[in-house]
A and B are shown apart, each in its own frame.
Chain A
Amino acid sequence: SAVISQKPSRDICQRGTSLTIQCQVDSQVTMMFWYRQQPGQSLTLIATANQGSEATYESGFVIDKFPISRPNLTFSTLTVSNMSPEDSSIYLCSVRGGGSYEQYFGPGTRLTVT
């Protein structure tokens, strides 16, 4: 399994600002994913990020709101732009590497927008 870290672990932000969340993996992985978990809800996939290509966004999520970078095989960032209280959620990074069909999750970033 992969060891995944996220920064920050939590943050409180004002509406209209942006926050960039970092995801670091201890091994090279082909695919990285960003999920959102709204309070008391299940996980929803925001986008899939492959190194060297544009992220693929799920329905309901757009690049202008959630720009993603994937500069190498161990790192990715998700930015939540122009935040509103509705963006208050836990954002989780997930990876799938090599021949493994399993996904592993980071500890998450708890975002509160006031």
Chain B
Amino acid sequence: AQTVTQSQPEMSVQEAETVTLSCTYDTSESDYYLFWYKQPPSRQMILVIRQEAYKQQNATENRFSVNFQKAAKSFSLKISDSQLGDAAMYFCAYRSPPGVKLIFGTGTLLAVQP
């Protein structure tokens, strides 16, 4: 069975600094998608970034980028120039097509210090 592991329950970063959140996963599939979701205190889950396993290039969305290491089954999220609004719970998630089920990690609570 596929699993997603986030080994950092909590992280803290200074405003304007860079932080990296870790995620590892276990799967025997070769085709899959990986996602990072953000859940602010208001609890509306927001998709931050996605990565297709067949793409070697790491996904980037503005200040958010990933380091996708397929062989190591690692999918870390880097947040550059951290802002106070980045404070949230971040979930790593996995999905293997044609399945529709998202498998979530346990989350990393990110605090941003002014």
Contact = CB atoms under 8 A, between A and B. Distances in A.
Contacts of B95: 101
Given A42-B91, A42-B105, A43-B91, A48 B43 contact: no
Interface stretch (B11-19, B20-28, B44-52, B70-78): B44-52
A92 B42 CA distance: 13
Given A42-B104, A42-B107, 7 more contacts: A43-B91, A43-B102, A45-B102, A102-B47, A103-B47, A105-B37, A108-B44
A31 interface: yes
Contact of A105 (B44, B97, B105, B106): B44
A42 B50 contact: no
A97 B40 CA distance: 24
Main secondary structure of the interface of B (DSSP, over half): loop
Contacts, number: 44
A7 to B, nearest CB: 15
Main secondary structure of the interface of A (DSSP, over half): strand
A112 B108 CA distance: 24
A101 B42 contact: no
Nearest to A101: B33
28 contacts: A1-B47, A31-B100, A33-B100, A41-B106, A42-B91, A42-B105, A42-B106, A42-B107, A43-B91, A43-B104, A48-B100, A58-B101, A94-B102, A96-B100, A101-B33, A101-B97, A102-B35, A102-B50, A103-B102, A105-B37, A105-B44, A105-B46, A106-B44, A107-B42, A107-B43, A107-B44, A108-B44, A110-B43
Interface size class of A (residues with CB under 8 A): 20 to 34
A11 B63 CA distance: 37
A104 B104 CA distance: 14
A113 interface: no
Nearest to B50: A102
